Amino acid sequence: MLYLLEDSKERAFIRENLNAHFTASAWILSSDKSKVLLLHHTKLDKWLQPGGHADGEFDLLKVALKETQEETGLVDLQLLTPEIFDIDIHIIPQREEVPEHEHFDVRFAFNTKNEGEIQINNESKAYKWIKLQEINQITQEQSILRMQQKSKTL
């Protein structure tokens, strides 16, 4: 991460930096912390937490909140810890004219009392509140399983 910042400076926060750039996401737990909200991502065809590109915004917590609101309609999130919850560096495969590149995803943990109807946008096919102990039934993504384990400390 430090290399990305040193090498790219403010360009690290824009998606046009085609080698690598920052993204931010939200790990959203139910009020009793027994379930997590996952979205079935349309382009990647994977169950993931809400999140997205910084698009020039340096405050990644703000990015996580904005992306969550856009992707789920949720606005009543409570930050569970002031620290970054997780960081994941992963490769995004080439799509059309956008080459393969890395996302440096900074993740924050939240909870919400609103487990009602989620308003997903076109970036997702579906959403699911899934019990933490059942996550491995829908994904084997190591970063998701890592956050599942870290949730026990919240």
pLDDT at 93: 86
Q: Tell me which residue range forms the domain holding 30.
A: 2-153
Which residues, listed in sequence order, are joined to residue 126 by a DSSP beta bridge? Answer: 40
- Residue recorded with tokens 């990305």: 4
Model-level pTM?
A: 0.91
Closest CA to 26 of 103, 131, 107: 107
CATH number of the domain that residue 35 is part of: 3.90.79.10
Spell out the alpha helix ranges (H) of 28-128: 60-72
What total number of domains does the chain contain?
Answer: 1
Sites in the chain below the pLDDT cut of 70:
none
